[in-house]
Structure 1
């Protein structure tokens, strides 16, 4: 009987690597990690807000400016605080809503206050109270309408606030129109500072975020399909399970609808910049996101089917291993091509070939196990095989739908062919 001897080097023979002295600073590590990561964008946004607040505070700090605006300078500071958002489109959208609410509320408030002063006496308070009730109730009801709430909820809230401030202050102030004009001018100053800094100083575009996130999700799905196939079928005799990273990527994709809708709403407000022109088909990204979520749900269902105790038999696994690995690699390749098409904004030269290949995979998969072959198995085994084949066919259909949606996006957005 032979034995194998493993020599372990002495302690003195083990090479000792000298560690270099490094100083780790949080900000330096953030910038070194990735050029355009989210942490850097958050840091830049914070600096931009600080700069905007300093600029509008000059209305208080500099005597010549303070003599012109007086205590109304506080409205410019409030405007910066409430409308400066992370994305440039969100800032524009909120600023536009604030402008509508301020102009309408201030204008109607001035008219109501002037009418109340003309009435005079006890009628003054009656007119003010009645107008506050009518316009406040009407604006509040409008905020409950889904279409108005989705686009103009902030404008309605600012309208209520501005109208009440103007019409109630008219009871004590002699020149309501001059007061409203001064406050409006300071609000415009704050809005101008926000727009200037948000659009011209390292802008963060919601359109870029949406475009890149959709492309990265497609790549993540392709990588997860390949990785899960390798982890599951190559672990013979072991507990088969896909990595938690793949499951987390699927689950995060399933909960991405609200974020996509917000980014689309912000992107519609952004001006022309770089690769995105006016009237860009942002709604198509929502449809692509819906297809990706359906695909992720189907993949999760297939994983649950493969990981069930019924599929623990090696014979049963071998019967589905070949079609799953072949189709998985084909789907991953197709998804990568579609992701590159969106990322580089170019038409995929092999889109027709992709659709034909997906249809041929569906035909081949339907012939993998005929009904007679499945019927010869035990009831549980036959049901497991049929379920897994059905889910594979559903995955192919979803990828085919994704290819069609991306092709339509390329036509509407004018993707280049090179």
Structure 2
């Protein structure tokens, strides 16, 4: 039973999980997370690279937050599942988009192959027309933003690499004998090594990795072939023209034939995360209310863990979508100056909340031996149910407002006030001092402290969503 004694007032210092207790709790969370990943087998495709790393890296940080208890009378909210359909139906929608993307790539290949098969164009470009086909294969991505990003990187890398390679080849032609080989080899070594090192810089690797790769490739091809070819300018111009045609075909189909916007994907994914965490909090409440676990209850517990894990492993996907969304033109509800960075900030807060929800779930499981009579006596059951219900309701409301692009300022103030009141009530259940013995021998369930931290984190998310709505120019609905 994970129950600890705290000799100091919870408002003064709540770094309460320390030394052996902290290690014990983190170990339980890590092992349970690993078992859920292996048993559920439902990790998102985009997050497979992170799921194995997550299983042994879940850490919990408890921060002190000062709150003022209000006097708001709180009504128990009704649970809502406004975004549950969105998260459940995302698999079908994704499959349809994958089929459309496959058809779009096939159409682009058919169009670009005409450059090689038609005699008129082939007589002008020759075998260099195949560069247009290669451009379609490597540039066409799932979202429009990714296609634009890769195409622009390829174009700039080709221009810079081809120009520099031509200068090196031109200078090498002025040298005879072994000096020409030394000049070409030295230039290849210097620019190849410099380009490879540049690719490993985090800022460059995140946004311009493909452009630097194309620069190295084009520079090497032009510099080496320029020594043997007399018409290096014509060859380079034909290849560049073929690449531009291939990119133009990719761009047209990606933007005008059933476009898939990275901005929409990021927006819908962010809204679905709120619903997943709300469902996880409800799963904790159901487990706490039903002390006798059956098979259905165990399945719901596993699903709630899986929802938190999918949120925890979404950092890389969110960052990639936000980067691609910046390349996209004005479309639908998203303008040129849409605050994509706010999605990353809110996503980070949601991941922090997911760690608290997992720790809360683990604490509840470890406290099953605590008698229900004791919990009812101290009034913890009622506070758990009221708090978890409000938290789940708030998370679904926030996700719904983000999905509908509506402000959450007036409702947010009322919810924030209720959250502060709830936190004050939770703190009142904690032993103020051990001098008088406290409740149940001065011992307080760890889940009570973790639940207070969850309330603090949800309150912070409410404020951040309110700022996001103001920055994005959302309207009140």
TM (norm. structure 2) is 0.76
Match of 1:230 among 274, 286, 289: 286
1:28-43 alignment, distance < 5 Å: 37-43=93-99
Confirm whether residue 88 of structure 1 aligns to residue 144 of structure 2.
Answer: yes
Comparing 125-134 with 318-327, which one deviates more in the overlay? 125-134
Match of 1:294 in 2: 352
| In structure 1, C-alpha distance between the alignment counterparts of 2:294 and 2:167, rounded to whole Å | 79
Match of 2:374 in 1: 316
3-state SS, counterpart of residue 307 of structure 1: helix
Comparing 76-85 with 144-153, which one deviates more in the overlay? 144-153
| In structure 1, C-alpha distance between the alignment counterparts of 2:424 and 2:345, rounded to whole Å | 27
Match of 1:142 in 2: 198
| In structure 2, C-alpha distance between the alignment counterparts of 1:413 and 1:118, rounded to whole Å | 59
| In structure 2, C-alpha distance between the alignment counterparts of 1:316 and 1:62, rounded to whole Å | 84
Confirm whether residue 274 of structure 1 aligns to residue 347 of structure 2.
Answer: no
| In structure 1, C-alpha distance between the alignment counterparts of 2:93 and 2:293, rounded to whole Å | 41
Match of 1:154 in 2: 210
> Deviation of residue 238 (structure 1)?
6.8
Q: Deviations over 1:61-90 (max 9, x none)?
A: 211111111100110011111111111111
Match of 2:429 in 1: 368
> Deviation of residue 118 (structure 1)?
2.4
Q: Deviations over 1:114-167 (max 9, x none)?
A: 111123444332322222122112111211222222221111111111001001
Match of 2:4 in 1: none
Match of 2:395 in 1: 335
| In structure 1, C-alpha distance between the alignment counterparts of 2:369 and 2:467, rounded to whole Å | 39
Q: Deviations over 1:153-195 (max 9, x none)?
A: 1111111110010011011101111110111000111110111
With over 3 angstroms needed to count, the CA separation of the structure-2 counterparts of 1:83 and 1:133, relative to structure 1, is: same
Comparing 157-166 with 117-126, which one deviates more in the overlay? 117-126
| In structure 2, C-alpha distance between the alignment counterparts of 1:284 and 1:237, rounded to whole Å | 40
> Deviation of residue 34 (structure 1)?
7.5
| In structure 1, C-alpha distance between the alignment counterparts of 2:390 and 2:454, rounded to whole Å | 11
With over 3 angstroms needed to count, the CA separation of the structure-2 counterparts of 1:308 and 1:118, relative to structure 1, is: same
Match of 1:178 in 2: 234
Confirm whether residue 398 of structure 1 aligns to residue 457 of structure 2.
Answer: yes
Match of 1:388 in 2: 447
Match of 1:409 in 2: 468
Q: Which has the higher contact order (CA 8 A, sep 6+)?
A: 2
Match of 1:76 in 2: 132
| In structure 2, C-alpha distance between the alignment counterparts of 1:315 and 1:147, rounded to whole Å | 57
| In structure 2, C-alpha distance between the alignment counterparts of 1:98 and 1:302, rounded to whole Å | 48
Confirm whether residue 209 of structure 1 aligns to residue 265 of structure 2.
Answer: yes
Match of 1:326 in 2: 386
1:99-178 alignment, distance < 5 Å: 99-178=155-234
In 2, are the aligned partners of 1:113 and 1:171 still within 8 Å (CA)? yes
| In structure 2, C-alpha distance between the alignment counterparts of 1:35 and 1:312, rounded to whole Å | 41
TM superposition outliers: structure 1 runs of 4+ over 6 Å: 33-36, 237-240
> Deviation of residue 376 (structure 1)?
3.8
With over 3 angstroms needed to count, the CA separation of the structure-2 counterparts of 1:145 and 1:202, relative to structure 1, is: same
3-state SS, counterpart of residue 274 of structure 1: coil
3-state SS, counterpart of residue 359 of structure 1: helix
Note the aligned Cα RMSD (angstroms): 2.0
| In structure 2, C-alpha distance between the alignment counterparts of 1:160 and 1:117, rounded to whole Å | 21
With over 3 angstroms needed to count, the CA separation of the structure-2 counterparts of 1:364 and 1:306, relative to structure 1, is: same
In 2, are the aligned partners of 1:116 and 1:127 still within 8 Å (CA)? yes
| In structure 2, C-alpha distance between the alignment counterparts of 1:292 and 1:374, rounded to whole Å | 38
Match of 2:50 in 1: none
Long gaps (5+) in structure 2:
1-88
Larger Rg: 1
Match of 1:192 in 2: 248
| In structure 1, C-alpha distance between the alignment counterparts of 2:279 and 2:202, rounded to whole Å | 39
In 1, are the aligned partners of 2:401 and 2:407 still within 8 Å (CA)? yes
In 2, are the aligned partners of 1:311 and 1:317 still within 8 Å (CA)? no
> Deviation of residue 236 (structure 1)?
5.2
In 1, are the aligned partners of 2:148 and 2:327 still within 8 Å (CA)? yes
3-state SS, counterpart of residue 202 of structure 1: coil
3-state SS, counterpart of residue 150 of structure 1: helix
Match of 2:312 among 240, 254, 258: 254
With over 3 angstroms needed to count, the CA separation of the structure-2 counterparts of 1:238 and 1:368, relative to structure 1, is: farther
Number of residues of Structure 1 aligned to a counterpart in Structure 2: 382
